[in-house]
């Protein structure tokens, strides 16, 4: 029998329970599906906002600005910057999870794949529709990803790590980071507009709604199945 897998008893690794009982396997399969569906949908929804031309999420303003300056695709910039941010986790004593690493690898690829097949939007009606769809789907993606409970994205881990190390409130750290990336991204050529503002005021309520919709019930025997590391407070950032 593989290490850490039993029919009824617990594994001490990380304090989590793993079981070969099929309902538990189905529970883990659902969580893995939500993780990767959420990450792929996040990348695709961000691409809709790019094509709308009406403004991006704060971090994607920076990614687009860096893309304009470097000639790299937005997805590649997102991936490289995400990996670089993970290095900052080391002095902050953050522990990545499966969701953290997957965040770095999947969202950028999904964004680039969607941008490759999605043409630029023309006309206010089409652009507005893409903007609205991008924001709503981004909220759904956030709910899917967080409800899977596989750990925060690299940018959220940076936020929570700075909060713990400095004692500054989460709200202030998040606000400072997002203002910083929006201003920097805008200076570099990123798009700031109505979509940026609408995203800022709606993503919280949307994410909360979809967290309830996609909440994963406890495993059948009451345990919690996690692939790696204890999850920390997570609000998805690309």
212: number of Cβ within 10 Å: 9
Q: How many Å apart are CA 135 and CA 141, to the nearest integer?
A: 10
Q: Which residues of the chain, if any, have pLDDT below 50?
A: 1-21, 222-236
Q: Give a yes or no: residue 3 inside a domain.
A: no
Q: Give a yes or no: residue 192 inside a domain.
A: yes
Q: Give a yes or no: residue 55 inside a domain.
A: yes
Q: How many Å apart are CA 60 and CA 203, to the nearest integer?
A: 14
Q: Give a yes or no: residue 12 inside a domain.
A: no
Residue whose tokens read 């507009």? 193
Q: Are 64 and 56 in contact (CB under 8 A)?
A: yes
Q: Give a yes or no: residue 8 inside a domain.
A: no
pLDDT of residue 170: 82
In the chain, the number of structural domains is 1
pLDDT of residue 221: 61
CB half-sphere exposure, 151, CA atoms < 13 A: 22
Q: Give a yes or no: residue 4 inside a domain.
A: no
Q: How many Å apart are CA 92 and CA 126, to the nearest integer?
A: 43
Contacts of 52 (CB under 8 A, 6+ apart): 121, 127, 128, 130, 131, 134, 195
Q: Give a yes or no: residue 201 inside a domain.
A: yes
Q: Give a yes or no: residue 222 inside a domain.
A: no
The rounded Cα 62 to chain-centroid distance in angstroms is 16
| Torsion (CA) 81, 86, 92, 96 in degrees, nearest 10 | 150
Range of the domain at 210: 28-214
**Coil/strand/helix, residue 53:** coil
* Predicted model pTM: 0.81
Residue whose tokens read 């990336």? 181
Q: Which two tokens stand for residue 13?
A: 């690794």
């Amino acid at each position: 029998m593989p290490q850490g897998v039993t029919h009824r008893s617990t594994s001490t690794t990380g304090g989590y329970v793993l079981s070969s009982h099929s309902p538990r396997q189905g529970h883990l399969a659902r969580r893995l599906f939500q993780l990767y569906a959420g990450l792929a949908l996040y990348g695709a929804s961000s691409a809709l906002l790019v094509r709308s031309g009406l403004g991006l999420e704060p971090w994607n303003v920076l990614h687009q600005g860096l893309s304009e300056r470097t000639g790299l695709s937005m997805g590649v910039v997102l991936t490289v910057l995400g990996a670089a941010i993970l290095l900052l986790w080391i002095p902050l004593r953050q522990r990545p999870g499966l969701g953290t690493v997957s965040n770095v690898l999947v969202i950028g690829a999904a964004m680039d794949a969607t941008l490759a097949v999605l043409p630029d939007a023309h006309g206010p009606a089409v652009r507005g529709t893409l903007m609205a769809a991008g924001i709503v789907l981004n909220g759904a993606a956030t709910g899917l990803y967080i409800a899977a409970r596989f750990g925060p994205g690299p940018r959220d881990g940076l936020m929570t790590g700075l909060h713990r190390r400095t004692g500054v409130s989460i709200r202030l750290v998040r606000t400072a980071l997002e203002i910083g990336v929006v201003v920097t991204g805008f200076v570099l050529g990123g798009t700031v507009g109505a979509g940026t503002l609408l995203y800022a005021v709606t993503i919280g309520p949307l994410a909360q709604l979809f967290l309830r919709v996609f909440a994963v019930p406890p495993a059948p025997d009451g345990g919690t199945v996690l692939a790696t590391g204890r999850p920390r407070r997570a609000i998805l950032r690309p």
